[in-house]
Amino acid sequence: MADAYVVEPDVGFINEIKGLGGGDLKKCFQCATCSVACPIAPDNKPFPRKEMIAASWGLKDKLVGNGDIWLCHNCGDCSTLCPRGAKPGDVLSAIRAYAVIEYGPVKAIGKLINNPKMLPVVLGIPAVLFIVIGLITGLLDFTPEGDKIAHGHFFSTWLVDIMMIPAAIWTVANFAIGIKRFLGDMHRNALQDGKTDIQKIDPKGFIMGLVRVILPILKHDKFNECSENKDRATAHMMVLFGFIGLFIVTNIFFVALYGLQLHGPYSQLNPVKWLGNVAGISLIIGSLLMIKNRLAKKEDQVSSYKDWWLIIWALSLGVTGLLAEMTRLAGVAGLSYFIYFVHLMFVWSLFFFIAYSKLAHLVYRTMALGYNEYIGRQ
C-alpha cells in the first residue's frame, strides 16, 4: 500500500506561480500529454505532469526542491501540444523563478527585480552608489584632464574594484548558500519519490557527474532535441559564450593590472582585446536573436517580465561596452565617459542581482543535471 500523504495546499504559492508567468496553470486537467510530448523527460518519473499536479494543488515542498523543474529547458513542445492551453513549459519556468528567490538568503531582492514597478530603483541603486562612493573616496573625477581619453581618469580602477569585488563576493556567497540548500532538498525529494536509492551524496561522485554534463551543456544538446524552439540554441549559445569570453577577458586584465602593473588603455592589436570584442558582439547578436524569437512566439508561449529583464540587461551590457570603446577611439571624451558610467551600472547590477535573476538557472540547472547524471537517471 502506498504511503499516505497529507495534502496542504498553499494558495499563496499558487498565486505567486501565476504572477511569475504560470497564469494558465489551472487549465490543466491532467491528461499527461505534456510528459508524453517532452523529448527530454526521463523514463523514470517523467516531467512535467507530476509538477503540474503539485503546482495545481499548491504543494510548494514538492516543487521548490525538485530537481526535475531544472531539467526542463522550456522548449515549448509541451505547451504547443497541450489540448487545454495550460502552458506547462511556462508554469515550470515560473516555478524555477520562485525557487531562485526561495533559495536566495535575501528574498526581498528577488522580489525587487521581478517587479517591473521597481525597475527605476534597480537602475538607481548602482548609479547612486558609484557617485556617492566615488565622491567620498575622491576616486571619481568629473573633469578628467589630459589629451588621451582613458576611462580610468574618470572612474578610477580602484573605484570600479571597490564596487565590483564586493558585488562578486556577494553573488558567490548567495550561490554557495543556495546551492547547499538546493542539493539537500533535491536529494531528499529524489529519495522520497523513488528516483534514487543513494542515501548520502558522495562529493567525488557528484563532482564527476558535473564534469560529465559540462560538454553537453556547452553544446546545448538538450535544446537540439526539442522541436518547437530548436532555433533558440544558436541565440543561447552566443549569449553563453559571450558571457564566458567577457569573464575570461575581465580576469586576464585584472591580473595584468594588479599582478603585472600593466595599465590601460590596451592596444587594439592585443589578442585579449580581440577576444573581448568578439565576445561583446556575440552577446549583442545573441540577445537580439532572443528578442526576435520571443517577439515571434506563438500564443501558447508567453514571455514574462523576468524573461525580458535578463535579455535587455544582456543586450545593454554588450551595447554600452562596445559603444564606450568606440567613442573612446573616436575621441569623444564626454560621451565616452557617460556611456562607460552606464556600462558600469549594468555590470554591477548583473554581478549583484545574478543570484536572484533568471540567469541563476545556469548554476541551478547545472547542479540538477549533474545530480541526475550522478544518480544514473537518464
CB 18 within 8 A of CB 48: no
> Cell match 540548500: residue?
181
- Note the pLDDT of residue 96: 92
The 3-state DSSP class for residue 215 equals helix
- Note the pLDDT of residue 299: 60
CB 325 within 8 A of CB 318: no
- CATH class, domain 11-103, is mainly alpha
pLDDT digit string (tens) for the chain, length 378 residues: 456 666 677 788 888 888 888 888 888 888 888 888 888 888 878 888 988 888 888 888 888 888 889 988 887 788 888 888 888 888 898 899 999 999 999 989 988 888 889 989 998 999 999 889 988 888 777 666 656 777 777 778 788 888 888 999 999 999 999 999 999 999 998 888 888 888 899 999 999 999 999 998 888 877 777 776 667 788 888 999 999 999 898 888 878 777 777 766 677 778 888 898 999 999 999 999 988 887 876 565 566 788 888 899 999 999 999 999 899 888 888 888 899 999 999 999 988 999 999 889 889 999 999 999 998 877
CB 317 within 8 A of CB 346: yes
- Note the pLDDT of residue 302: 62
- 288, 296, 295, 336: which is closest to 312 by C-alpha? 288
* Three cell numbers written together for 52: 503540474
Burial class, 198, CB count within 10 angstroms (exposed 0-12 / middle 13-18 / buried 19+): middle
Rounded Cα gap, residues 192 and 174, in angstroms: 27
Q: What is the pTM of this model?
A: 0.87
* Three cell numbers written together for 25: 496553470
- 270, 253, 269: which is closest to 261 by C-alpha? 253
- 189, 178, 16: which is closest to 103 by C-alpha? 178
Would you kindly state where each structural domain of the chain is located, as residue ranges? 11-103, 107-374
- 179, 230, 94, 184: which is closest to 362 by C-alpha? 179
CB 155 within 8 A of CB 341: yes
Rounded Cα gap, residues 280 and 285, in angstroms: 9
Contacts of 144 (CB under 8 A, 6+ apart): 150, 153, 154, 333, 337
